[in-house]
Copies of this chain bind each other. A is one copy, B any other.
C-alpha cells in the first residue's frame, strides 16, 4: 500500500483530527470521543500506520529550542548530472531541515536552521560546497506566519 493509492474515508479523517489535538491520547479515549468501538480505532490506526499515508515522524522540537533560532531558505542551482550526489551530501548536513525540488530556475529549495547569521553563512557555504551545486542564494525567514498544518485540509474534506 502506498500514499498514492490509499484514500482516507470519513472515519480515518475523524481519527486523525482527534489525534491532532493530542498525538499521544490513548486509543480508548479516542474511541469514546468518536463514538466508535475500540477495536475499530485500533484497526484503523494500524492500517494508517502501514498504509504509507503518514509522513515520516519527526520529533516536534522547535529548532529554536535547540538554539537554532535563525531559519532560512537556501535556493541552489546545480549541475543536474550530479543531482543524487548533491542530495546525499545535503542529507549529511544536520542543519538541513528539509529539501524540495521545485520547477523553475531553482533546482533545490533547502530549508536550514542556524544559531545566528554567522552560523547561517557557514551552513550556506557548506551547502554551496556540495558536489554538483553551482550557485546558492540564501534568504532568511523573518517570521513563521502559518506553521505547517494539514488540519484545515482534513476538515475541508469532511465537509464535502
| Interface of A toward B, CB cutoff 8 Å | 3-4, 6-8, 16-17, 19-24, 51-69, 71-73, 87, 90-91, 93-104, 106, 108-109, 111, 113, 139-157
Contact = CB atoms under 8 A, between A and B. Distances in A.
A7 B62 CA distance: 11
B57 A87 contact: no
Contact of A97 (B65, B69, B113, B149): B149
B58 A150 contact: yes
A152 B96 CA distance: 8
Contacts of A58: 20, 147-151
| Residue from A7, A22, A109, A148 whose CB has the most chain B CB atoms within 10 Å | A148
A65 to B, nearest CB: 4
A-B pairs, top 10 by smallest CB distance, nearest first, are A53-B65, A94-B152, A99-B146, A94-B156, A16-B59, A101-B143, A99-B145, A54-B60, A98-B148, A3-B64
Given A17-B59, A53-B62, A67 B24 contact: no
A57 B91 contact: no
A140 B98 contact: no
Given A94-B153, A153-B63, A153-B68, A101 B55 contact: no
A65 B8 contact: yes
